[in-house]
Structure 1
Amino acid sequence: MSQSGSNILVCVTQQKTCERLIRKALEFSSDNDSIFIIHVAKNNWSFLDNEKEGEALEYLFGIAKSIGANLTVLRSDNIVDTIVDYALENKIDILVLGDSKGDHSENYFYKSLKETLNVVEIHVVPN
């Protein structure tokens, strides 16, 4: 009998350094697990005009493909809600995200996602 595995979601930005998040997801995964990778861009962000960001997404897409995962790029002005909806739709068990930069002492994404996705195990990977 085949046992169903966990669904792992990795939240990436348009930076090549996000490869470390995908590698961390691999550490959490076993044979029956599925890895999903998502990038949510605000509606007014034009990453296609920015050569560096487009290149980074293409690089991350290659890594996703090499581990049998899909990289989904969505547009939304409410990034947290979009990630939550995607996580619920795909029955995500584990969420991997990077430590957010900024002035705030606590990770805004982590707090917002934890409140809504309280049954999901969230791992914040330090920079």
Structure 2
Amino acid sequence: MNTIQNIMVCVTQQKTCERLIRRGAEIRDTYNGELFVIHVAKEGDHFLGTSKDGDALDYLFEESKAYGANLTVVRAHDVLETLKKLTEKNNIDLIVLGQSFEKNEKNVSNKLEKQLPKDIEVEIVPIEKEEKVG
């Protein structure tokens, strides 16, 4: 990592977002950058994959606020294209993503990395053991 100015944390599930935001904040603090927490929901889906969107959004807002992050939550037809545009809009240098068990073409991390300029770094945060259960 060279000079990191802006970090984007992509969150999908409520129970995993705190550790991703925490990691983004650690990097931000090291480089004195700015932290953006982004959630893009596919049009027609619940924002965070649950019928309790209000509670989930409150939780996401509170976690982002606790770490001094800017929160953006949007709906979009093309999630990856929207993430790419937000990366450009916010001059992102590093993206923090949670680990995915999807393989090859279905892996969102791989798909996103292929669409990004080569100068944007991506850090994958491994899934913690207690998250695999359930």
| Coarse TM-score class (shorter-chain normalised) | 0.7 to 0.9
Runs of 4+ with >6 A deviation: none
Percent of residue pairs identical:
44
Q: What residue is the counterpart of 1:35 in the other structure?
A: 35
Q: What residue is the counterpart of 1:64 in the other structure?
A: 64
Q: Which runs of 5+ in 1 are unaligned?
A: none
Q: What residue is the counterpart of 1:50 in the other structure?
A: 51
Q: What residue is the counterpart of 1:82 in the other structure?
A: 82
Residue correspondence of structure 1 range 107-126 to structure 2 within 5 A: 108-117=107-116, 118-126=118-126
What is the CA RMSD across the aligned residues, in angstroms? 2.3
Equivalent residues of 2:21, 2:67 under 8 A apart? no
Q: What residue is the counterpart of 2:99 in the other structure?
A: 99
Normalised by the size of structure 1, how large is the TM-score? Answer: 0.83
Encode CA deviations 1:23-69: one digit per residue, 9 max, x unaligned.
Answer: 11122122631000010001111349712x43222112101112221
Q: Looking at secondary structure, tell me which structure has more helix per residue.
A: 2
Q: Which runs of 5+ in 2 are unaligned?
A: 128-134
3-state SS, counterpart of residue 32 of structure 2 = coil
Deviation at 1:5, TM superposition (A): 5.9
Normalised by the size of structure 2, how large is the TM-score? Answer: 0.79
Amino acid at match of 1:116: Q
